[in-house]
Amino acid sequence: MASLVLELQREALNTQGSVGHLLRMAFVVARKLGVSEFERWVSSEMNGYKDADDLPEYRLLSGSVVARSCKLIQQRS
């Protein structure tokens, strides 16, 4: 198990690695170690949060929608 955790740490430091690969590795580690809360978090990050109430704060965005419209007038000759 230690080698899997060390591999996960190395992957986390790899600037060329993908987040998806890192999450899949983290899921395996969480499952093998029986860390169910971390396993649920990783699963939600990979597959989406099923309930909006479970969204972590860093997934919540606020803002305003701004739109501009331009009407073009064509002259007929």
Max Cα–Cα distance, the chain, nearest Å: 80
Mean pLDDT of 50-70: 89
Picking from 8, 38, 35, the residue whose alpha carbon sits closest to that of residue 22 is: 8
Given a cut of 70, whether residue 77 has pLDDT beyond it is: no
Instruction: Read off the pTM.
Output: 0.71
pLDDT at residue 71, rounded to an integer: 73
